[in-house]
Amino acid sequence: MNKPDLSVPSRQSIKGLVIIFIQGIRSLARMFWAVLVVVILQNNLLQHKAIILPALAAIFILLVIHTLLYYLNFYFYVKDDEFVLKKGYLRKQVLSIPLERIQSINTKQNLLQQALDVVALEIDTAGTAGKELKIHALEAPYAKALSALLKTKTTEETEANTSEASATKPIESVILKLEPIDLLKIGISENHIRTALIILAFGSQLFNQVQEVFQEKADEYSNEFMNFVSNSGWALILFLILFFAVVSFLFSLVKTVYKYYDFRLVKSEQAYQIMAGLVNKRNVLVPHAKIQEFSWATNPIKKYFGIYHIAFKQAVSMQNRKNQLVDAPGCLQTQLDLLKNDLFGPDELDAQHRFFSHIHYFRVGWFFSGILPVIGAAPFLFSFWFFWVSAVLWLAVSGFYCYLLFRKRYFQISTTQIRVSSGAVGQKWNQMELFKVQAVRFKQSFFQKRRSLASLEIMNAAGSISIPYISESLAKQMQNYLLYHTETAQQKWM
Amino acid sequence: MHNFTNAVILPENLPTLDSEQFNRLDKKYLSIIVIRLVLVFLIAFGGCIAFLILSEATPGIPVKIAVSAFIVLWLAFSIGITLLGFPRKGYLVRENDISFKKGILFYKETSVPFNRIQHVEVTQGVLAKAYKISTLKLFTAGGNSSDLSIPGLPKNQAQQLKDFLSEKISKHE
């Protein structure tokens, strides 16, 4: 089954049986884990082996039957320029998608699939939520051939002229490859504060759960802990900060290696391809034409290493948006320039005027994050001098932060593209072509109206970019200009 | 390299989207929103009373008055905002795009060009059915951030708009 022939319905690899079976167990476990816990905790139930064993056997047999039926009823083929996927035996499902609507074809491998040497193939369509076009087990060469086949069919229309040229031999070049030392740099330059908050949130949740189970012991320990904290004071706070820094750093590092191990970004004639992952290997294909938005970000540590975190945003349906990570964390300036040139042509935005957000953006931000909380806490301030110090400190820090937010918030626009900058400690740029805009939203609050200010939200098939607090007249002009661009555009935008 | 600049970035003579030109929504839709609001508050009120009866709690008269006053004020505020905000709701169909505006405290005006609409639907709730009022839903690609729904259209008008848009969409493909 190495030559995909899509005119006849084909099944997935025979190894798919194992995958379907394991998935069945997994979904059963997900449904009945609560019941299982009760059964196991109530020891006396376990003693009724006469009931338990036949029940287990019955479940096992049903699962085997389910696996066989599911496997036998799972077909895919191409008919009348539509990719058709048939599945289900009790409730039959026919999913069909016109080939030109296919946004991207990705392959993934989890641990089990790696062990069986098969890959999962996902076909993503923009919009039309609720459709899942996923084939769980295909032999790797077959999957490659299949995605190549679908890809050529997909792009046939748009690039009919170039198809002959590309048919000879696809030119592939590796743009970016991450070595262990790069992963280390990336791990160091991650946002550790965010990581620490995640750990803290997760930890406190865990603590709560543990507390519920071991109520008395936990009380005892936490009392001891509180005593310890109040007795040791500053040294302990310092130690805790240090401890969190180290844990967050290690966590970031592990996360980076897990996600980006053996990372490669490859450019071919019609698409970018990203391969990465330590345990779950993913292989994402992004056709050039489907890219809606491109972003690159840096922060002080990344700046020191000279690396950028880049991301391609493509048109994907809502439920796939989170899983579909098409980003590269450690891109050098030269690689970034190469990619930008690739996507947008010679730079035409650097020289353009920077339209900054109005200073009111800073004032509102500071009011809500700095001044309002301090006013709210005012009654407590008089009780202890330390609170005064923290209040002033909070005002200063939040003010500085909001000022940074304001300083880095600007946009540049040319006759074909727009770039929006944002960030506080770090900085991030989003860039897109104007004809890819698919909706424009003009927003104005009551308070903005009094000052003749407004905000703008530019939406494309991959998400939205917001431009806060610009003058009302500029926002209106932008709105008209962006609509004009999309409405006169003839190009295919996805 | 010659110093080529392209100064006119935002031309002044583009057609402007004038918020005065928008069409108002059908008056019957206002009744629908108000009825919906009152229903929600009746349920909230009923919930409070049920809680009082079932929980055997005996709050003092001041608490009862405060809670009732709070609920009534909230209802009045919601209805007030709805009444004031209704005239600001409206839609506009131009040659190449469709727009919807709403909001008094937070004004929003969303425009979607015809050539970016993926498909169009007409839907109707239970209450709206009695009033023969429909909602027009426009779907764009890639998730729902830029989907647009225009409520409060007379049923036949919504259908006409849908047919008009469907034709426009098929022309673009």
ipTM of the complex: 0.87
Asked if A223 is an interface residue toward chain B (Cβ–Cβ < 8 A), one would say no
Residue B153 lies in a domain: yes
Q: Which of A230, A260, A290 is the last residue in one of the domains?
A: A260
Same domain, B48 and B102: no
pTM assigned to the model: 0.76
Same domain, B110 and B156: yes
Residue A191's nearest CA partner among A20, A363, A427, A366 is: A427
By Cβ distance, the residue of A415, A461, A464 closest to B6 is A415
Residue A474's nearest CA partner among A432, A430, A444 is: A444
Residue A124's nearest CA partner among A135, A114, A140 is: A135
Q: Looking at the DSSP assignment, which residues form a beta bridge with residue A93?
A: A87
Residue A23 lies in a domain: yes
Same domain, A60 and A22: yes
Judging contacts by C-beta atoms under 8 Å, the chain B residues touching residue A316 are: 142-143
Same domain, B129 and B115: yes
Same domain, B166 and B96: yes
Reading the block at residue A5, the tokens are 């022939």
Q: How far apart are CA B43 and CA B60, in angstroms?
A: 23
Residue B19's pLDDT band (cuts 50, 70, 90): confident
Query: Buried (b) or exposed (e) across B19-44, using 16+ Cβ within 10 A?
Result: eeebeebbeebbebbeeeeeeebeee
Alpha helices in A261-348 (DSSP H): 300-305, 333-344
Residue B11 lies in a domain: no
Q: How far apart are CA A64 and CA A60, in angstroms?
A: 6
In three-state secondary structure terms, A97 is strand
Q: What is the pLDDT of residues B66-124, one digit of tens each?
A: 888 888 899 899 999 999 999 999 999 998 899 999 998 899 999 999 988 888 888 88
Q: Which of B69, B85, B101 is the last residue in one of the domains?
A: B85
A407 membership: H or E segment, kind and range = helix A385-407
Cβ contact, residue pair B9, A474, below 8 Å: no
Same domain, B64 and B97: no
Q: What is the pLDDT of residues A288-340, one digit of tens each?
A: 878 889 999 999 989 998 999 999 888 766 555 555 558 888 888 988 998 99
- Residues 94-153 on B with a CB inside 8 Å of A are 96-97, 104-116, 118, 139-146, 148
Q: How many folded domains does chain A comprise?
A: 3
Give the per-residue pLDDT at A450: 93
Contacts for B32 with CB less than 8 Å, ≥ 6 apart: B127, B128, B131, B133, B152
Cβ contact, residue pair A481, B11, below 8 Å: yes
Chain position carrying tokens 């709403």:
B102
Judging contacts by C-beta atoms under 8 Å, the chain B residues touching residue A127 are: 118, 139-143
Same domain, B137 and B167: yes
Cβ contact, residue pair B107, A445, below 8 Å: yes
Strands A102-109 and A281-287: antiparallel
Shortest CA distance from B14: residue in chain A: A480
Q: Which of B70, B85, B100 is the last residue in one of the domains?
A: B85
Q: Which of A348, A380, A406 is the last residue in one of the domains?
A: A406
Reading the block at residue B80, the tokens are 């007030």
Give the per-residue pLDDT at A361: 95
Beta-carbon count within 10 A of A465 CB: 22
Q: What are the backbone dihedrals phi and psi of residue A179, each rounded to the nearest 5 degrees, phi first?
A: -90, 165
Residue B19 lies in a domain: no
Residue A458 lies in a domain: no
Q: Which domain holds residue A368?
A: 360-406
Give the per-residue pLDDT at A201: 78
Q: Which domain holds residue B106?
A: 90-172
Asked if A481 is an interface residue toward chain B (Cβ–Cβ < 8 A), one would say yes
Cβ contact, residue pair A494, B141, below 8 Å: yes
Strands (E), A132-235: 133-139, 173-177
| Helices A192-213 + A234-260 axis angle, to 10 | 110
Residue A151 lies in a domain: yes
Regarding predicted confidence, which is higher, B65 or A443? Answer: A443
Same domain, A48 and A127: yes
Residue A167 lies in a domain: no
Same domain, A33 and A103: yes
- Residues 286-325 on A with a CB inside 8 Å of B are 292, 315-318, 321
Same domain, B94 and B159: yes
Residue A21 lies in a domain: yes
Judging contacts by C-beta atoms under 8 Å, the chain A residues touching residue B113 are: 437-439, 483, 486-487
pLDDT at B146 over 90: no
Give the per-residue pLDDT at A492: 81
Same domain, B115 and B150: yes
Judging contacts by C-beta atoms under 8 Å, the chain B residues touching residue A318 are: 142-144
Contact A315, B141 (CB under 8 A): yes
Eight-state DSSP code of residue A261: T
Same domain, A192 and A71: no
Asked if A478 is an interface residue toward chain B (Cβ–Cβ < 8 A), one would say yes
Cβ contact, residue pair A461, B141, below 8 Å: yes
CATH number at residue B119: 2.30.29.210
**Chains A, B: CB pairs < 8 Å:** 122
Same domain, B106 and B163: yes
Q: How many folded domains does chain B comprise?
A: 2
Cβ contact, residue pair B10, A318, below 8 Å: no
Same domain, A132 and A251: no
Q: Which of B61, B85, B109 is the last residue in one of the domains?
A: B85
Give the per-residue pLDDT at A230: 67
Same domain, B32 and B62: yes
Same domain, A228 and A132: no
Residue A83 lies in a domain: yes
Same domain, A218 and A124: no
Residue A354 lies in a domain: no
Entry field: residues in chain B: 173
Rounded to the nearest angstrom, the minimum Cα separation between A448 and chain B is 9
Same domain, A137 and A196: no
Contacts for A422 with CB less than 8 Å, ≥ 6 apart: A405, A408, A409, A428, A430
Same domain, A103 and A206: no
Same domain, A190 and A151: no
Residue B136 lies in a domain: yes
Same domain, B158 and B100: yes
Same domain, B98 and B153: yes
Residue A131 lies in a domain: yes
Entry field: residues in chain A: 494
Residue B94 lies in a domain: yes
* Mean pLDDT of chain B, nearest integer: 84
CATH number at residue A128: 2.30.29.30
Same domain, A25 and A130: yes
Beta-carbon count within 10 A of A305 CB: 16
A171 membership: H or E segment, kind and range = none
Same domain, A196 and A244: yes
Beta-carbon count within 10 A of A90 CB: 8
Reading the block at residue B141, the tokens are 């690609």
Residue B121 lies in a domain: yes
Give the pLDDT means over successive 10-residue stretches in chain A (494 positions).
69 86 86 73 65 84 90 85 82 77 78 85 65 77 78 53 41 82 86 77 71 63 68 75 84 88 86 84 80 92 91 72 70 90 89 92 94 87 82 93 95 93 93 93 94 94 91 92 88 80
